[in-house]
Amino acid sequence: MTTADLAWALGYKAVGTNEEQLQRCLDAADTECYAAVDPVEVVTPLGAGVEPMALYDSVVLQRAVEWWKANDAAFGALGYSETGGLRPPDGFERHYAALAPMKEQWGLA
């Protein structure tokens, strides 16, 4: 996953001067998703040098978009007539559910 991928998902044609901020959003999303998958053996981060995982990458990209847009709604909600209200990422539940097929460890109840 690259900053260019996130820029594309956001509808930007070029990364430009926002590359550091884009990378920060990707890193935050990747950290959350990696924790949700909870791999048994930690050898390398999921995105580094392993087979591409479409589901994982898709969820990371979706969550990174949310982190990027959270900057516009950091103090509540910001409304747009085209998209509805934007809110900061406050829940990871739908992403957690999407990653469930990849989850490697489940706690004991």
Tell whether 87 is covered by a domain.
Answer: yes
Looking at residue 52, what is its pLDDT?
Answer: 44
> Would residue 21 count as lying in a domain?
yes
Listed residue (64, 81, 75, 79) closest to 4, CA to CA: 64
Residue pLDDT, tens place only, 8-65? 999 987 777 888 999 999 999 998 888 888 776 655 555 554 454 788 888 899 999 9
108 located within any domain: no
pTM of the model: 0.68
Question: Is the residue at 109 inside a domain?
Answer: no
Higher pLDDT, 49 or 95: 95
Mean pLDDT of all residues in 58-84: 72
Q: Cβ neighbours of residue 60 under 8 Å, at least 6 residues apart?
A: 1, 26, 29, 30, 33, 47
Query: Is 14 contained in some domain?
Result: yes
107, part of any domain: no
- Evaluate if residue 86 carries a pLDDT over 90: no
Q: Which residue has the higher pLDDT, 55 or 88?
A: 55
Q: Does 107 have pLDDT greater than 90?
A: no
| Alpha-carbon gap, residue 68 to 72, rounded angstroms | 8
User: Which residue in this structure is represented by tokens 């809110």?
Assistant: 87
Higher pLDDT, 90 or 65: 65
| Structural domain span for residue 80 | 3-102
How many domains, in total, are found in the chain? 1
